[in-house]
Structure 1
């Protein structure tokens, strides 16, 4: 029963309370009349009888709900006093004009007394209701704090909302993809919890998607979505016949409980994400340690294999079958060594241990050193170099930028026939602010499907056939990261003047030393070559 109905009068009340309140009013007025007759017979003044009727009005207002019964008792008390205790008796007429003042004062006093009593009672009931709501929210919050999963929060919400609102509430949770689950939890009339299958999933999603109010009206349920930081986390469902009768106070109370449920669900998801993130970090740490340990263990034997194969080639003539065998061993060892260095470089990048040490370096010397290194790896390929006539000094970490060029040249050699062009170009850009390095080839180019992902970690082409030297997709990733840490950028595209691909990266000719110091502050100095 709502407070508005209680204040509206008997017409809005339950029919069972009308006879009770009528009987109470009649009994108190009758009691006041009988006692007043006794006072009158004893010889008490009429003012004492007036006080009896005011007392009857006061008691009536205290025991009934709303203003109606107090006002009714006030009017009835005035008329009863006039009928029994003013001349002519047993008539509503009066001879003495002074009684008019008595009746007016009596009516006003009775009315004010009734009003004050009703208001005090209403305030007391309101305070009690607020206390119950506060206790209920505290109980809800306390139990939600103990919830570890969304299902636990849903169960708590169903139980407490059902108890406080007197309904068979239900709760539907959403999965990680933002879709409602196939089942929901509901409280039965017997107080047990049952799992029901969700019917009309698409209709529910449509109603909630087009929602312009705080709840969606359905044939069986009124649905209140529970919003979190990532969208809808669940839906609290109230049976339609019960929800249709909710007043404003109940709606406000329900919204308060929904906010508590939303906070609890958000907390559960945050804890879950934090745990998953910590687990992922731990796995990444284990993976990095394993890769680093394996790579370090492989570097020494690979260096020995490379050196031994070179010695065999130097001791054998080209016609000797052992020369070709040693050459194949050397090439495979060089490829494996480069892959191991790339893995080490990846772990350093992910852990933030790669330190950039910039110094003014001649760009053509760095390019020449990279080309010379590649000549030893792929002597059958001819690499053309184009550099400006004047010395181009670029602030860079020479060791890392040379490795970027080696990675790009190795990629070009891998996809270019020995008779086709491979060219390295270095120059200033049109504004003279950056040094532009270009590695171009005449291979088959880059497939359109590969262009958006070519710098992603462990990405390799999904179109070309797998071979023994395809690589594991680290060289370009590490190269792009090194250039980015230098303050430059790298891009890749197909050539416009024919077949082939171009990899272009820029390095700024001027750097902010303060910014560089901040970037490198606190990082370890890493020895060794990074691929």
Structure 2
């Protein structure tokens, strides 16, 4: 197709050269018969060269016309006539001036013509981009963007453009939308979506021409591919540099519009999730506040009834079970309240320098109330370790981690607490480990997520609510420390967290 177009352009240029030079020769003969001077005939030939340069493309035609005009002038109007020989040497100067003038004039005319053509192309390109951009601005979803884009591209390139959309995960749709007529678009099944994806992903720049029916241009977003613009092979091969540049510009505008829609969808989804999270937090907070008072009463009453009942009495175990469950529920309520405050950013850290040993002793004492038979070993430096902390929150961290360890620990095995001070790093590392079966590898990355529970029995701590470790994570990070979980080499799991020896001023927990 390209060769056919070039052949037509060459034939048109040849016909123009024959017409204008022939006309100039006829007029020159008339001028010679009338007796006009030769300079007038030279001007006629120069004018014909200008016209040829004006209506043809490229310097070759203008230069060829200049030389041909000089030869015609020599053949028809210099002695001896009808030959290319010259008797008068002064004619060589005339021929030289004539060729030089014709070439320069032709070059200037061609340059002007090319500038005009480039200006028209830029104007056409600007109009096409403006039309595309203005219509894409009003598009509200991906399907509209694709429809508008292939319609405009089909009009500008005079082809039947098509587009394959990709989803958020970068997977191609099983179809492509193609313009098949004036304001008519159809969905066509895409036979090998995965093959198309692989070809596009391996494409670093340019386009893919492996298909017999289409040349494919990728539509890239910031993070992943958004789609593929398809131009029929015959039309794609006929595209010159200008039209390819225009096509790339329109594809970039399409990508920007698609990115805008995806970002708007993500913002809407994020806003909905935020609203749902706020409602959930308000609900949990309200329920937790309502449960606090009756739970405190149940705990106190059950504890009092235990003390009033002989341990051999059959009712004693029932009261003990009620007391333990009430304690667990109260701990759960405190965890829910702390979590909602942390997530809302309303929890104020009240930091004071506290002795870490006292915090650990108090946490162990409270755990012993609930699990009196559990052995807990503590290993820490002999020196007094003072840490700026919110003692209530750090106490809750120790209790949650100890409950988690006891939950997974064999009844006869101890739970170990180990404290190490790193003076150079200016932090304290605390390790709480058990001798259970460890944590499933699939759960290690997720156990600090709120409400995360595993299908295995080694999930989050107490009664598997999925809150205890999430609160520990938030509290430790609010204090400027880090927390992680890992399995020990021999047996069991180990939860390790750090606390800085020099803390930030009091403020909101992030």
Per the TM alignment, residue 183 of structure 1 is displaced from its structure 2 partner at its CA by 0.5
**Secondary structure in structure 1 of the residue aligned to 2:96:** helix
> After the TM superposition, which of the residue ranges 218-227 and 147-156 deviates more from structure 2?
147-156
1:292 matches 2:285 = yes
1:394 matches 2:383 = no
**Counterpart contact for 2:376–2:417, Cα < 8 Å:** no
Distance in 2 between residues matched to 1:30 and 1:440, nearest whole Å? 104
Match of 2:295 in 1: 302
Distance in 2 between residues matched to 1:451 and 1:78, nearest whole Å? 90
Q: CA RMSD in A?
A: 3.4
Deviation string 1:342-367 (CA, Å, 9 cap, x unpaired) is: 11111122222333322222333222
Deviation string 1:97-137 (CA, Å, 9 cap, x unpaired) is: 43333333233323322232222212211221122112222
Q: Map residues 81-160 of structure 1 onto 2, 5 A cutoff.
A: 81-89=73-81, 92-93=84-85, 95-160=87-152
Runs of 4+, deviation exceeding 6 Å? none
1:49 matches 2:35 = no
Q: Map residues 65-84 of structure 1 onto 2, 5 A cutoff.
A: 65-84=57-76
**Counterpart contact for 1:158–1:169, Cα < 8 Å:** yes
Task: Indicate how the Cα distance of structure 1 residues 301 and 75 shifts in structure 2: closer, same or farther if over 3 A, else same.
Answer: same
Per the TM alignment, residue 465 of structure 1 is displaced from its structure 2 partner at its CA by 9.8
Match of 1:528 in 2: none
Distance in 2 between residues matched to 1:244 and 1:372, nearest whole Å? 82
Q: Map residues 116-265 of structure 1 onto 2, 5 A cutoff.
A: 116-188=108-180, 192-217=184-209, 218-265=211-258
When normalised by structure 1's length, the TM-score is 0.83
Distance in 1 between residues matched to 2:274 and 2:335, nearest whole Å? 21
**Secondary structure in structure 1 of the residue aligned to 2:464:** coil
1:271 matches 2:264 = yes
**Counterpart contact for 1:339–1:471, Cα < 8 Å:** no
Distance in 2 between residues matched to 1:505 and 1:107, nearest whole Å? 90
**Secondary structure in structure 2 of the residue aligned to 1:193:** strand
Distance in 2 between residues matched to 1:90 and 1:503, nearest whole Å? 108
Per the TM alignment, residue 276 of structure 1 is displaced from its structure 2 partner at its CA by 1.6
Distance in 1 between residues matched to 2:23 and 2:287, nearest whole Å? 102
Distance in 2 between residues matched to 1:506 and 1:53, nearest whole Å? 94
**Counterpart contact for 1:388–1:426, Cα < 8 Å:** no
Distance in 1 between residues matched to 2:413 and 2:59, nearest whole Å? 100
Task: Indicate how the Cα distance of structure 1 residues 88 and 403 shifts in structure 2: closer, same or farther if over 3 A, else same.
Answer: closer
> After the TM superposition, which of the residue ranges 368-377 and 114-123 deviates more from structure 2?
368-377
**Secondary structure in structure 1 of the residue aligned to 2:349:** coil
Match of 1:63 in 2: 55
Task: Indicate how the Cα distance of structure 1 residues 476 and 71 shifts in structure 2: closer, same or farther if over 3 A, else same.
Answer: closer
Distance in 2 between residues matched to 1:262 and 1:294, nearest whole Å? 47
Per the TM alignment, residue 399 of structure 1 is displaced from its structure 2 partner at its CA by 1.3
Deviation string 1:405-424 (CA, Å, 9 cap, x unpaired) is: 22233334444566x25456
**Counterpart contact for 2:403–2:462, Cα < 8 Å:** no
Structure 1's unaligned 5+ residue stretches are 6-10, 526-531
Task: Indicate how the Cα distance of structure 1 residues 407 and 104 shifts in structure 2: closer, same or farther if over 3 A, else same.
Answer: closer
Per the TM alignment, residue 174 of structure 1 is displaced from its structure 2 partner at its CA by 0.9
Distance in 2 between residues matched to 1:464 and 1:26, nearest whole Å? 95
> After the TM superposition, which of the residue ranges 488-497 and 303-312 deviates more from structure 2?
488-497
Deviation string 1:4-49 (CA, Å, 9 cap, x unpaired) is: x8xxxxx97344872x544544443444344444444444322223
**Counterpart contact for 1:422–1:439, Cα < 8 Å:** no
Per the TM alignment, residue 166 of structure 1 is displaced from its structure 2 partner at its CA by 2.1
Distance in 2 between residues matched to 1:496 and 1:64, nearest whole Å? 84
Deviation string 1:293-318 (CA, Å, 9 cap, x unpaired) is: 11112112212222232333344444
Per the TM alignment, residue 453 of structure 1 is displaced from its structure 2 partner at its CA by 3.8
**Counterpart contact for 1:168–1:186, Cα < 8 Å:** yes
Match of 1:333 in 2: 326
**Counterpart contact for 1:412–1:422, Cα < 8 Å:** no
Match of 2:365 in 1: 372
**Secondary structure in structure 2 of the residue aligned to 1:13:** helix
**Secondary structure in structure 2 of the residue aligned to 1:147:** coil
Q: Map residues 395-410 of structure 1 onto 2, 5 A cutoff.
A: 395-410=388-403
Pairing partner for 1:511 from 502, 505, 509: 502
Deviation string 1:485-531 (CA, Å, 9 cap, x unpaired) is: 3334444456677x6555444434x204xxx12xx44x389xxxxxx
Per the TM alignment, residue 198 of structure 1 is displaced from its structure 2 partner at its CA by 0.5
Per the TM alignment, residue 273 of structure 1 is displaced from its structure 2 partner at its CA by 1.7
Task: Indicate how the Cα distance of structure 1 residues 111 and 492 shifts in structure 2: closer, same or farther if over 3 A, else same.
Answer: closer
